[in-house]
Chain A
């Protein structure tokens, strides 16, 4: 039986016109995105030192640091971002509208600029530098700086998704919940969170993916110190100069982690969405 690439129905009137172009575009797109990923995997399989790299100290330290810092970042993003997103979704004031307009700025801001900006704020000679150093705190080139950089670039992904999710929950549900004797806090926990869950999960996954791949802001603000601030993307760059095997090992690991996150997300969303009509 021949493989059927296209199904004829529901394609709409414009597709007939553009079908050849659509086919060509699909081939180009899939090749362009797929080829480098295939090349990475193929090359990793052939490379000497790939397996050794996987268990080498550079890789393990970077992996450990990336997992720990991104986990801490996500905890902070959720703790701060959730009430903030709820407020943005439910209240409307001129001040909030202005804040809302700037929430997504870090998404479009070049990460290197974010790193410089953070140095200017929290660095030794930054705005808060004197205050921080008089309190005995020095942020730059510490693991804390890695976490701050990740939060800065990743938080908007979560806040944006959470705000959309909360805005989609009809407040009448919350009203009814309260009339049933359920307190506002319990209503939030038992009703609002579950109803906004797909958005929250998507936002969190995107934010985590952004945090784990963070490079520019981290290297500017936190530096590249093995075991302290050298996360996986930084370690890849460092390894590329000395050991291609280790760089490939880190790259494949990062690819696998991202793919796993995507798979877990769609599995979770699929389960959440299954009962939908």
Chain B
């Protein structure tokens, strides 16, 4: 894990230099940290790196240390050890031994933009007043032009002299973003920026943010616990849990095919089955896993032989519910079961299907729910492809859950 992040850091720094080198040779638009923050009994081991025009998503459950990570970058929390640099310049360095003399740059000299979860728009100022807050010489025409430009590009036209509580949630969010961008920060920190917005607005703002980041080339660290947001926005996703990075990489590989059980649960793999390898079919590229009388086909994995315990993960959205076994389907796994629960899980429903002792969770849309007549007590077939099953190497949690065989 550590080696991996060190490698990716040096790569990122190189791309950062190339990208900004053409635009502005003076500034290196990047940020990196390898530091430790102790708050009471909580310890955050932070190691991250983000380059120009890149969005790094810190993903994890609440209490994982994501916000603390942002606050450490911002200088609102002082790490106990390590180093943080922004724009190629150290803003924090612990004064331990060979690392050299200690460095501490206070928040107001770090050149950052920070949007908190609750925006914290200043209630005594108007929209324009909020946006201009971080700018020097606020009466100068150039400053006014800067504010006007931001109001235009974040579509806040006509709201300049409004008080901030008169704004809708989306407008407040845009104002907070405009305020953070106004002093042209060399690092943008966003803490759950879209958490309080509805789905449609969220997607719209996410697209706007993406466009803005690639235009300004500002590195962004974004904190979220929403998988969708992480997938939609992240260039890199770093999964944080209990103060430690447990996975890091491109969003699709981290969030869609998570390798570790703990990560899988964090990113929401709804079905995790403890099984054993029964038969390998190298010519098909599949293998059969069993537990009790249940069996299913998964992609072939190297280094496993018959009898080895495995944890099979299946996403709820990858399981199809059908009234019959669909003989013409290419899906290799069909399990009959009885519906035990239906739960609203926007944008659709989550159905719990008891397949003879193992409960599978499947996501279906409201339309399918009605068309199929899904209700507790009724029988259905769960159908899923072998390629939708992936193996979780459950090293960290092996002690907690041993296979039922």
Contact = CB atoms under 8 A, between A and B. Distances in A.
Name the interface size band of chain B.
20 to 34
B107 A178 contact: yes
Overall SS of chain A's interface: helix
B89 interface: no
Name the interface size band of chain A.
20 to 34
Interface stretch (B112-120, B196-204, B229-237, B332-340): B112-120
A181 B120 contact: no
Contacts of B163: 275
Contacts of B179: 180
A183 interface: yes
A148 B124 CA distance: 35
B61 interface: no
Given A172-B116, A184-B108, A179 B74 contact: yes
A195 B110 contact: no
Interface string B54-80: 000000000000000001001110000
B42 interface: no
B325 to A, nearest CB: 56
A169 to B, nearest CB: 10
A127 B84 CA distance: 55
Interface string A154-189: 000000000000000010110111111111100100
Interface in B86-119: 106-114, 116, 118
Given A172-B120, A182-B108, A177 B133 contact: yes
Given A176-B114, A176-B120, A277 B108 contact: no
A181 B116 contact: no
A182 B134 contact: yes
A178 B116 contact: no
Contacts of B165: 277
Interface in A181-229: 181-184, 187, 190-191, 194-195, 197
A170 B120 contact: yes
Q: Of residues B74, B76, B109, B183, which shows the largest number of chain A Cβ atoms within 10 Å of its Cβ?
A: B76
A82 B341 CA distance: 60
Contacts of B183: 180-181
A172 B114 CA distance: 11
A108 B108 CA distance: 43
Q: Which 10 A-B pairs have the closest CB atoms?
A: A180-B134, A179-B114, A178-B107, A194-B124, A178-B108, A176-B120, A275-B163, A181-B134, A172-B120, A175-B76
27 contacts: A172-B116, A173-B120, A175-B76, A175-B114, A175-B116, A176-B114, A177-B122, A179-B74, A179-B107, A179-B108, A179-B114, A180-B108, A180-B133, A180-B180, A180-B182, A181-B108, A181-B183, A182-B134, A183-B108, A187-B108, A191-B122, A194-B124, A195-B122, A195-B123, A197-B124, A275-B163, A277-B165
Interface of B: 71, 74-76, 106-114, 116, 118, 120, 122-124, 133-134, 163, 165, 179-180, 182-183, 189
